[in-house]
Amino acid sequence: MPTDFSTVAALGISAQNYFFGPSLLLDTLPDPVIGLAANRNTIIYMNAAARALFDAGDVGTRTLTSIPFETGKDALKAALARQHTHRSEAHVSFAGQLYCIESQRCGPCDEAPYLLILRNRPAGSSGLSDDFVATVSHELRTPLTSVKGALGLALSGASGPITDQTRKLLDIAHRNVGRLMLLVNDILDLEKMSSGNMSFDMVPTDLRTVIDAACEANTDFAKGYGVNVSCDVPDHPAMALLDADRMHQVMTNLISNACKFSHKGGTISIVLTTLGNGSHKIQVSDKGIGIPADALETIFERFNQAGSIHRNRSGSTGLGLAIVKTIVEAHDGSISLSSTQDRGTTVTITLSGVAPGSEGK
């Protein structure tokens, strides 16, 4: 979701209407969704599932404290009180059912609303159904691609000359559509991985080719941030059983993160080494702004963006590292991150090796 509320205000759109105005998509979600005003108590939106759960014909002047949760009220209040833009969780019960409430503030400014999703899933439930994921994929990805393409054509002048002020507005829209597409893709990937529906084509692959391809593919992206990418791989094959496309996704995510948080003129270092036990270690390092120590513990959680500085610099969804971790673990690998604020960050991935020519059986 875009978080440029100064732009929204300039267009005369309130934060409430901006996020929860025409919310047909939220109404299709099977989980109850509640929108809260910036004061963290006034309810400004309920989707169809929430209205049915709480027997609310309309939102009216309802408040969060008016909902008769049987347990967990204090935990939910505390979670919202300490929240800025990080995602948080609290457990409550209502009508004899236990719910996990995931909450996320929709932006860094004081007027930003909050989004609460209530999840009630039996043990072993896989989350969103395959049909729903497919529907969202079609209903969101396709029109978003069209919108981004149209905005790109308008910005290029293909539809005629535009004023500087119009160009600024189109540029904001184009940039935020791109961020929304990234969010949609990340959510769909994470849901498919969580439900076990993400397919992996695991074949013996030389990690050197994956890393070289990722470095080459991200060279122009790095130049846009004024940084260089250095790729150091061994002379001998580094074979591992993996899905090359998914591992390319991992490397692209890590390289792009490192670029965003590096200082201009800096260098991103990608080093592949083979360890004595035959496993392979990949390290992606930068000498950038680093990550605060208090954010390291939760850095791989969903919607974690490690503070306002990182959000402002990255414009990310906060899902990238969670997806990276899921992919690496699906390869029976491990991932860790070390960082010192103002000195840089290193992400280390370890994957088991296979013998050249092995079929991975």
pLDDT tens-digit readout, 248-265: 989 988 998 899 889 999
Across the range 87-107, mean pLDDT stands at 79
Across the range 127-131, mean pLDDT stands at 49
Instruction: Report the DSSP pairing between strands 267-274 and 228-232.
Output: parallel
**Does residue 86 share a domain with residue 20?**
yes
- In order of 176, 257, 304, the CA distances from 156 in angstroms are 17, 28, 35
| Residue 228 resides in a domain | yes
For 161, phi then psi, to 5°, come to -65, 145
CATH code where residue 308 lies: 3.30.565.10
**Does residue 184 share a domain with residue 51?**
no
Across the range 121-142, mean pLDDT stands at 54
**Does residue 305 share a domain with residue 227?**
yes
Residue 283: DSSP 8-state: E
**Does residue 69 share a domain with residue 185?**
no
Q: Which domain range does residue 155 map to?
A: 130-194
CATH code where residue 46 lies: 3.30.450.20
Which residue, chain included where needed, has tokens 């109850």? 32
Across the range 105-111, mean pLDDT stands at 72
Phi-psi region of 227 (alpha: psi -120 to 50; beta: other; left: phi over 0): beta
**Does residue 332 share a domain with residue 295?**
yes
Would you say residue 294 has pLDDT above 60? yes
| Residue 358 resides in a domain | no
**Does residue 217 share a domain with residue 262?**
yes
What confidence score (pLDDT) does residue 194 get?
Answer: 60
Query: Which residues, 6 or more positions from 59, have their beta carbon under 8 angstroms from its beta carbon?
Result: 43, 44, 45, 46
CA dihedral sign of residues 321, 324, 328, 331: positive
**Does residue 237 share a domain with residue 151?**
no
**Does residue 334 share a domain with residue 259?**
yes
Would you say residue 38 has pLDDT above 80? yes
| Residue 209 resides in a domain | yes
CA 4, chain centre distance (Å): 17
**Does residue 98 share a domain with residue 142?**
no
**Does residue 134 share a domain with residue 114?**
no
What confidence score (pLDDT) does residue 349 get?
Answer: 94
Q: How many domains does the chain have?
A: 3
CA dihedral sign of residues 268, 315, 340, 322: negative
| Residue 360 resides in a domain | no
Would you say residue 3 has pLDDT above 70? no
Across the range 351-355, mean pLDDT stands at 85
- In order of 210, 214, 242, 263, 295, the CA distances from 228 in angstroms are 18, 13, 27, 11, 27
Q: Among 96, 119, 142, which residue terminates a domain?
A: 119
What confidence score (pLDDT) does residue 138 get?
Answer: 58
**Least confident range of 35-49, 73-87, 142-156:** 73-87
Across the range 126-139, mean pLDDT stands at 54
| Residue 304 resides in a domain | yes
| Residue 208 resides in a domain | yes
Would you say residue 105 has pLDDT above 70? yes
Would you say residue 9 has pLDDT above 60? no
Across the range 81-91, mean pLDDT stands at 66
Q: Among 146, 162, 194, which residue terminates a domain?
A: 194
pLDDT above 90 coverage of the chain, percent: 21
Would you say residue 273 has pLDDT above 70? yes
How does DSSP assign 179-240, residue by residue?
HHHHHHHHHHHHHHHHTT------EEEEHHHHHHHHHHHTHHHHHHTT-EEEEE--SS--EE
Strands (E), the chain: 33-36, 43-46, 88-94, 97-105, 114-119, 203-206, 228-232, 239-242, 267-274, 280-286, 334-340, 344-351
Q: Among 149, 172, 194, which residue terminates a domain?
A: 194
Amino acid identity, position 277:
N
**Does residue 92 share a domain with residue 69?**
yes
For 122, phi then psi, to 5°, come to -65, 160
Reading the block at residue 128, the tokens are 């969103």
Q: How confident is the model over 179-201, as pLDDT tens digits?
A: 677 777 767 776 666 655 667 88
| Residue 359 resides in a domain | no
Spatial CA neighbour of 103 closest among 94, 91, 121: 91
**Does residue 248 share a domain with residue 170?**
no
| Residue 124 resides in a domain | no
